[in-house]
Amino acid sequence: MLRSYSRIHIFIVLAFLLVLFGGIYAFLYLDLGYDSSTFSFCQPCNEGSEPDVKSIMAKVMEDIVGPTECQEKGSWKIGDLTMNYGVKYAQPSTQQGRTDVNSVTNWNAPLVWEGTFDPVVIDAIYKKMDPRIAVVVFAVGKYTRFLEAFLQTGEKYFMVGFRVTYYIFTDHKEEVPNIDLGEGRKISLLDIPSATRWQDVVLGRMKWASIAIDKQIRNEADYLFMMDVDSVFYSRFGAESLSRLTGVLHRLFYKVDRDQFTYERRNLSRAFIPFGEGDYYYTAAVWGGYLEDMYKMVKYCYMQSEEDAKNNIEAVWQEESHLNKYFLYNKPTKVLSPEYLWSDYDQVPADIKVVRISQLVKNYAEVRPNGGQ
């Protein structure tokens, strides 16, 4: 009886110490600023690697309370920021850098400009993680004419050295050009119906992308970008853009007051954002993120536009309006400067040191099914 009583006390003391140690560890983990973009309890285990505090804690907890199911098991995440030995690169400075632009958001996410990262370091880190990157573009009607330049320049500048699949949604497969692709890169063609309004093409992107992710892309990619096909790459667009959810600043609004943003201002729309609210205005021509986070966001934009249709309203800038509403309440974990989507219509200001991708000059009345801007 006495022996059993002592065992109970020993168990209680050990349990208390375990909880105390776990609490201290959790406090340090959060206080140091680590988040799921860098570390994850649910990352796949590497056999043969040295055990760390997290794995030891997980094993101890499993021995006490039994095995627990990891909700993110099998999903790809940006892992530890490690790199191979011997990579040569310039020493980073704590005193010098971009002073003409802001390089961090007010929720402490990176705001990426030329001069805020070292491409050698970035590539050395992210190529070890070896993500499968999907690029979704829509080439409907006469927009197939833009595919050749998009793909050729993408092969020269977009995620060079990474595994990339271009998912091309089109109603004219026979017009898709034959492009020489790099190693580990391929094209996947998906059929969609033609449209009589360009607005329907824009709104339909969310619907068809959601279906394709469910049926195909989820099994073939870890990271997904949505991009406009009427664009050309002019310079590096690389791993510095990868994060859980990445938005791109719209070139027309990155210097203006938020009340000048072209948010949806009608409160009947699900995309409604009142005056006096908002962070940035994001373009819907380039955005990306983890596959499952993008699926959640794409489906959100589709469902919100469907709700608008039931109420006989269409958001002022279709999917872009819903995207901006989503980003307002679900902050992106990385924001890219307008370098990552400029326009050949506009002069390049001094703060844009490099144009990485740019929208082409075109005759909208001629290429769009119903014409107009």
Which parts are annotated binding residues? 138-140, 143, 228-230, 250, 262, 320
Report the alpha-carbon distance of residue 241 to residue 135 in Å, rounded: 13
Report the alpha-carbon distance of residue 4 to residue 341 in Å, rounded: 70
Q: How many CB atoms lie within 10 A of CB 92?
A: 10
What separation in angstroms does the CA of 212 have from each of 136, 191, 287, 362, 363? 10, 10, 17, 29, 30
Residue 149 token pair: 């330049």
Find how far residue 49's CA is from the centre of its chain. 29
Residue 240 token pair: 């510095």
Find how far residue 308's CA is from the centre of its chain. 25
Can you give the three-state secondary structure of 165-234, one letter per residue? Answer: EEEEEECCHHHCCCCCCCCCEEEEEEECCCCCCHHHHHHHHHHHHHHHHHHCHHHCCCEEEEECCCEEEC
Report the alpha-carbon distance of residue 353 to residue 2 in Å, rounded: 77
Give, as one character, the DSSP assignment of residue 240: G
Report the alpha-carbon distance of residue 267 to residue 269 in Å, rounded: 5
Find how far residue 208's CA is from the centre of its chain. 18
- Known catalytic residues are 320
The answer to whether the CB of 233 falls within 8 A of the CB of 360 is no
Nearest to 176 by CA among 139, 226, 212, 135: 139
Q: How many CB atoms lie within 10 A of CB 68?
A: 10
Binding-site residues for UDP-N-acetyl-alpha-D-galactosamine, in ranges, read 138-140, 143, 228-230
What are the residues whose beta carbons fall under 8 Å from the beta carbon of 260, sequence distance 6 or more?
A: 253
* 67 CB-side CA count, 13 A: 3
